[in-house]
Amino acid sequence: MPLPAVPGCGKLLRTYRGAPASCPLNGRFLHLTKSGGSEVERALGIPFQGHARLSRRDDRDASCFAEGALPYFTLLRHPLERKLSLYSFWRSGRNQFMYKVRQAAFCERGTGRAYSTPCKPKQSFAAWLNRTEDTVSTAKQLAGDVDGVRVSADGVLYEQNDYMIFYLQQLLAKAPPLSSVIRLLESRFFLIGVTEQLPAFVAMAHCSHPARSTRPSPPVRVTNNSSHATLESLLHGAEYDAAARANLRDMYLYRWAEARSEALTRCLLDGWRTSWPPGVGAGSAITAAGMDHCPWTASSTI
C-alpha cells in the first residue's frame, strides 16, 4: 500500500495558517491516550482535553468549528510504541483511579497494585498485541471516556487494533478506509504531529495562535512515566511483523503523519531562513527557533 503523497509547501502552509485566529487552543486538541498529550497540555497551558474520539466531540462554537474550518490539532505516536506504553501503564496501576477493576481484567489473580505486589499480566506483550477480536464486549466501566477498550471472552483487558484509525474517524464506520481518515485530517486539522517530534509540535501549535506568537514557546519535558522496556527488547522478527500487520492501517497513518510533519517543519524553516547548522534536524531547528520567538506566524510572509 503506497503512502499518500505529502502536499507541497504552498498547501501545507495554507493549512497551518488556516487555524481560526480568534479561537483559543483549549478545546481543539485531540488527545489520544499514551501519545504525549499530557505534556502538550502542560506545555501549552491548556486543561486536560479528555480522550473522547472525534465522532463523540460536541463542538458547539460555530465560529471555531464551522464546516470548512481547520480547528483541530493532534499528536500521533508509533502504533506499537503507543500500545507498549498502554500495556505498561495498565501493568503499573499508577496515575489511574480505575486501577483495581482494570488490573482485575489485566493481571493474574492476586497480583497488582491492590495486592501491593507487581502485576503479572495475563499475557505477554507479544500475545496481548496479537489477540483476535472475536466474542468480545466493550469495557466502559474499565475505560472511562476512552473508547476502543475491550474485554475478551476469556476476561483479558485489551485495546482494539488500528486504534488511531478508530479514534480519528468522524462517522462510526466499523473499518473506515485509510484514505477517508487522511482526507478528514487534511480537511479539519491545521496541525498533525508525531510524538517523536514533540518539542517541534508544541512550538508549532504555540506559534499558530496570534495571542501566543509574540511570546517564546514553552519548554517540553520528554519523559517515560511508565519506565517500560523498549519495543525492540520485547518483539523480535516474526512477532514484530505480526503486530505490525494487525495494526497495518495505523502504521501507514503514522508514517504519513511523520512525513507530513517533517515536510511542514522544513517548509516553515525554509521560509524563515535558508539553512540551519549542519547535523541539526529540522525538528530541533524549529524547536530552537520557537523557543526564542515565532518567526513563522500566520501574519508573516513566507
- According to DSSP, the residues that pair with 107 across neighbouring strands are 121
Q: How far is CA 69 from the centre of its chain?
A: 21
**Grid coordinates belonging to 261:** 510533519
Sheet with 29-30, strands from edge to edge, namely 29-30, 72-76, 189-194
The yes-or-no verdict on residue 87 having pLDDT over 90 is: yes
Residue among 57, 55, 54, 31 at smallest CA distance from 42: 31
One-letter identity of residue 289? A
**Distance (Å, rounded) from C-alpha 203 to C-alpha 135?**
44
Confidence of residue 274 (pLDDT cuts 50, 70, 90): very low
pLDDT number for residue 51: 87
Instruction: Classify residue 116 as left (phi > 0), alpha (psi -120 to 50) or beta.
Output: left
**Distance (Å, rounded) from C-alpha 40 to C-alpha 285?**
19
User: pLDDT tens-digit profile of 203-225?
Assistant: 889 888 877 767 777 778 766 55
Q: For cell 526564542, name the residue.
A: 292
User: pLDDT tens-digit profile of 128-142?
Assistant: 998 765 545 555 555
**Distance (Å, rounded) from C-alpha 102 to C-alpha 56?**
23
**Distance (Å, rounded) from C-alpha 227 to C-alpha 232?**
15
More confident residue, 193 or 97: 193
Pick from 110-124, 192-206, 277-291: least confident: 277-291
The yes-or-no verdict on residue 119 having pLDDT over 80 is: yes
Average predicted confidence (pLDDT) for the chain: 83
Confidence of residue 286 (pLDDT cuts 50, 70, 90): low
pLDDT number for residue 299: 41
Section 227-236 average pLDDT: 85
Section 222-235 average pLDDT: 75
The yes-or-no verdict on residue 244 having pLDDT over 50 is: yes
| Distances from the Cα of 192 to the Cα of 97, 237, 243, angstroms | 30, 30, 24
pLDDT number for residue 135: 46
User: What is the value of pTM for the model shown?
Assistant: 0.87
**Distance (Å, rounded) from C-alpha 252 to C-alpha 263?**
16
The yes-or-no verdict on residue 160 having pLDDT over 90 is: no
**Distance (Å, rounded) from C-alpha 274 to C-alpha 202?**
22
**Grid coordinates belonging to 152:** 475478551
Tally of CB atoms within 10 A around 193:
28
More confident residue, 93 or 144: 93
pLDDT number for residue 301: 41
pLDDT number for residue 290: 53
Domain boundary assignment for the chain:
9-77+168-292, 80-163
The yes-or-no verdict on residue 194 having pLDDT over 50 is: yes
pLDDT number for residue 222: 67
More confident residue, 170 or 258: 258
The yes-or-no verdict on residue 228 having pLDDT over 80 is: no
